[in-house]
Chain A
């Protein structure tokens, strides 16, 4: 008897294989090296595997196929989001070189562990973005999340980091459990774990089927936790603030991209026939998220908290692309995800560097007077803030234009207006940062101890330990060149795609086209 081996499309899996290979290589390299050699060896392995994965994505661009018996879908949406995740990881690795959380010279965790976790999470994102099966969805979501829980807590000497890791673990697990419960209901109602199977299994009328309705509601809730969509966003500012900044940066942009990709597949494809039933609910979530995020960000003095709330609002904008469930909506979403990554990475790079250079932590005072002192840092931060606010000449403007066009075209004009109203409110806090950079004098250096933004009694008590900590950075000028370069690259790309958006628009439209046959 001859056993028929299942057909495996190795080429289609090549981005995932490259990342997996990278994880193994980093693991081995971290075991055999230490200190400075480890940083160089491990970073080289990571960057090479990320580059290989990116090249594989580019190679497979244009292929559309079901992989592994339909567990994964190879198409431009998955590849585009994988590219965003890969690029973010590649951005965050140099960002972490001098970070206390990753550098054993100043902290307890080594580069090996740090980058291993980062790559595993990136692999989870690439998987999640192409999963079209409830099981792969859940497994890859966990693969994405678990390394992130550890990364958030990786700065073992800072209580906020540990608190952030624990908080994220608890909330994230709750979200995962909710999601899993919901997926079980969806399976029960439709009789299939496969997205196309679900699509055929559900009728057009969801409201008459309580099992399916509960399933969709719970699954949406679980995914909303990951996307930090209000009212499931409460963890976001705390976790963003406490986590080491390179991790926050990675988490903010890449997680969002991957989770949105699977949200598109789950709602627009699997639940497409019932669009009329879930659209109002998601539209309401989007509106609430826009309102809550923008209002929440207004009073923040910690830049990471500010970006956390702004992320909640931006997730609301992007959710509009899912709500309309059209090709234009998906294209707009993918464009915005890429633009969002550029804008946020520029800001986080500057914040990470200022955290190390000044004693103010991520407080807004750390960037006051930056325009006069460090124009090379001031410009990327300014561009990032203006782009997030949707000012013309930046990728953020084109992204908003794209989203609003999709909203109006999909008969959700009121959501377009909601985006605009949210943008108006957001100007108040984005411009506050810009004003601090250019219009305020540099503050007096903080005395010795880095400020603990949003400090608690515990944090106050921790000051004694902190005093014993080595100075974060002795010669910032010489050491920070890489980070400055990263910030400038992200800022320049934000402007470039605002002036010459066509390449990125075409790229995003390919993702929309890939799903067009599945949209109803």
Chain B
């Protein structure tokens, strides 16, 4: 009881506490807090009852009864590992920042760690919310700390980049607010009671006509957040400007909230609309896979290579979800965790390489492996996972996704498979151009320092562990995924 409250609010509490301690202590306090949250999240997973659908550990308090909003939290098989992922990567990013003395201006370090804490609270809250309005609230709130983190601590052109990002993403999520309110009001006109609780809304689905426009609002918010192909305009600027530990979180965790939203909100509440718009979203997914892969192959800025590869990977996740079959969605859940685990060390490696080379341009790098076998080995693991080599958890995730898609829409599956091939090209290109070839003049290859290894090695270990034991996630996700798709499937069967 109330256990989830600690997981949600501890990061913010620690963040506020950072203002009360001396500047030099703040990073370490924040790190201790992030590790404590990680411990709580691990406890949550250990305590999780596998194979059971439905919400566990639920918290249910009255919040604004007049407006029908309740403070409802809970975890299920879809969210539990995303929460763990968030806690893990937040701990990683905080540790990386603390060990490397981020931010550069120590006078503002308290603000930096406060914002990180606020971001974790909002993100974990969004994964746990079981009330539609609470979800929207956390979803919007999530953006604010990142607005400041990029705008106040980022690189060149940061203010324009962060403004662009927040305008893009808030446009989507404000429409979502109207959609959420409309859903609750329309349902309340049937039931006579105003409630935003997901459980209540699932029981009283809207008429197909209302579902359609509301679904579009939600889909817009989620697709911008990911981001998906035609609406990814904020990504290049924000990725160039963001501090790297922040970029880890932005790319690895925040993008997942969009995909998660489809499984948690859009499919269960608007199943008819999901079927109607299935093709449209699949087209967006395939386009994201192809566009992201090709762009990742042609870019020379290492951040953007990773950024565009994220677009491609999230395209896969979208495809898996909108196969509207349990295999596809189960694979999507696994792949969300996979992608988070892969892209986070990738950005940390980019930071480590930048510290050695002073550049983020692929053309100016090379030969970093000559004196750094451990770094090279870790990077190789990450690379192999990125290109989804058989044996990695990424392979299993993509296999499930494509398997689900093949049974449903063969054409999309065939086209999307091309993305896997291009992934091998861009991942290997990134690895070769940075680690192999001749060492450019004036650069030195240096092995990982102990501090860098302390952050990077555990994350890579997680990739390996998940490759050995993907069932950890698949088994726990299955029942919940089926529940999430339950409303969609009968209609589909009826159509056939």
Contacts and interface: CB of A to CB of B under 8 A. Distances in A.
Contact of A417 (B133, B166, B171, B178): B178
B29 interface: no
B133 A401 contact: yes
Nearest to A409: B185
Given A409-B185, A505-B64, A424 B167 contact: yes
Nearest to B144: A391
B147 A416 contact: no
A439 B152 contact: yes
Nearest to A417: B178
B182 interface: yes
A502 B141 contact: no
Nearest to B63: A502
A502 B64 contact: yes
B178 A404 contact: yes
A271 to B, nearest CB: 26
Given A392-B140, A428-B167, A505-B67, A423 B107 contact: no
Nearest to A502: B64
Contacts of B66: 331, 502, 505-506, 509
B170 A427 contact: yes
B342 to A, nearest CB: 31
B108 interface: yes
A416 B179 CA distance: 10
A317 interface: no
Interface residues of B, number: 36
Contact of B152 (A371, A423, A509): A371
A401 B177 contact: yes
Interface in A300-320: none
> From DSSP, what is the main secondary structure of chain B's interface residues?
helix
A362 to B, nearest CB: 21
Interface in A396-440: 397-398, 400-402, 404-405, 408-409, 413, 416-417, 420, 423-424, 427-428, 431-432, 434-435, 438-440
B185 A408 contact: yes
A63 B166 CA distance: 47
A417 B175 CA distance: 7
B138 interface: yes
A401 B152 contact: no
A16 interface: no
B137 interface: yes
A505 B64 CA distance: 8
Nearest to B118: A393
A391 B177 contact: no
Contact of A502 (B65, B111, B184): B65
B64 A439 contact: no
B152 A438 contact: yes
B301 interface: no
Contact of B67 (A391, A402, A420): A402
Given A371-B152, A401-B133, A439-B159, A424 B67 contact: no
B151 interface: yes
B148 interface: yes
A386 interface: yes
Give the one of B108, B159, B181 with max A CB within 10 A: B181
A337 B454 CA distance: 53
Interface string B138-172: 10110010011001100000110011001100110
A420 B137 contact: no
Nearest to B110: A375
A105 interface: no
B177 A404 contact: yes
A405 B64 contact: no
Nearest to B148: A438
Contacts of A420: 174-175, 177-178
A413 B182 contact: yes
A431 B63 CA distance: 29
Contact of A401 (B141, B148, B171, B181): B181
B368 to A, nearest CB: 33
Contacts of B108: 372
Contacts of B144: 386, 391
A408 B213 CA distance: 14
Contacts of A390: 174
Contacts of B136: 392
Given A439-B158, A509-B66, A392 B137 contact: yes
Contact of A404 (B111, B152, B181): B181
B113 to A, nearest CB: 15
A501 interface: yes
Interface string A433-455: 01100111000000000000000
Interface of A: 331, 371-372, 386, 390-393, 397-398, 400-402, 404-405, 408-409, 413, 416-417, 420, 423-424, 427-428, 431-432, 434-435, 438-440, 501-502, 505-506, 509
8 contacts: A331-B66, A390-B174, A391-B140, A392-B138, A401-B177, A409-B185, A431-B166, A434-B147
Interface of B: 63-67, 69, 107-108, 111, 133, 136-138, 140-141, 144, 147-148, 151-152, 158-159, 162-163, 166-167, 170-171, 174-175, 177-178, 181-182, 184-185
Given A372-B107, A408-B185, 10 more contacts: A372-B108, A386-B144, A404-B181, A405-B67, A416-B182, A427-B166, A432-B163, A440-B159, A502-B64, A505-B64
